[in-house]
Amino acid sequence: MARLSPQQFGILITLVSAVMWSTAGLFVRMADIDIWSLVGWRSVFTGLTLGAWIALRPRGAMTFGLPGVVSTLISTVAAIAYIVALSWTSVANVMTVYAALPFSAGLIAWLWFRERVTARFILAGLVALAGVLVMTGAAMAPRDIAGIAVAVLMTVLFSAQLVIARRYPRLDSARMIALAAVLCVLIALPWMESPTPRALLACALYGSISTGLGYILVLIGGRLIGAGEAAFLSLIDVVLGPIWVWIFFAEAISPATMIGGGAVLAAVVWYLAPLLQR
């Protein structure tokens, strides 16, 4: 079996992270608790998972400094915003907004250090955008609009995280995310309540899988491939996120969502094809 190139490895772990990230809505529905309790308990398990990773990983020449501080603050706000968005509107709506990630990440990377994007990326991104527009679907209630507005904030912040990781390849992402989890716990602590066993399990799965491992893999992948590419490949969770809650909680997926999600998936597969043949 041929050895994977750095670009192929980056593509692989970014796709795996997208599958992990896509389970967030499922665990939010499974927990079924108030926002601040969910933020706090999810962050407890994120901190434990990443603390174990930091203790066991090989020592390397990683940095933190001001980029680490900025990225930690961004991660803290983005994590809270994501939970709020998933609580206020449907998973499909949040994933639809999140699909704009490659465009915001690519724009930030271009404005900051003029990272080039290819014509194929632009064309595939336009196809994905068309799918997103189809997924938008029916009219929304005020709560949906508020949830989508928060999802926009989360998307921009996560885009900035990807670009920072690309710009500073030695940045200690694990420590950054662990510190962000600690900040989330401290912020949520005054309003946290004792969860039921089911809610605690959901928070544990959310914190360790969706947030902990998912963030680590996508940030590492963003160092091996372009920031825009990493964000684009993460669009797989736009399709998977609504499917999980449809399977386990019967959260309806409209025909428009199915068609739009299919277009996004087709764009990702088309974009990946020549890269995986190298």
pTM (2 d.p.): 0.83
Q: Over the stretch 152-207, which tens digit does the pLDDT of each residue have?
A: 899 889 889 888 887 887 888 889 989 999 999 999 999 999 999 999 999 999 99
* Residue 231: pLDDT band with limits 50, 70, 90: low
Helix (H, G, I), strand (E, B) or coil at 225: coil
* 75, part of any domain: yes
Three-state helix/strand/coil letters over 142-211: HHHHHHHHHHHHHHHHHHHHHHHHHHCCCECHHHHHHHHHHHHHHHHHHHCCCCCHHHHHHHHHHHHHHH
* 260, part of any domain: yes
Give the bridge partners for 63, in sequence order.
171
* 52, part of any domain: yes
Count of structural domains, the chain: 1
- Element spanning 250, H or E: none
* 1, part of any domain: no
Q: Over the stretch 17-75, which tens digit does the pLDDT of each residue have?
A: 889 989 999 999 999 999 999 999 999 999 998 998 888 877 777 888 899 999 999 99
CA dihedral 146, 210, 92, 86 (to 10 degrees): -20
* 41, part of any domain: yes
Domain containing 49 equals 6-276
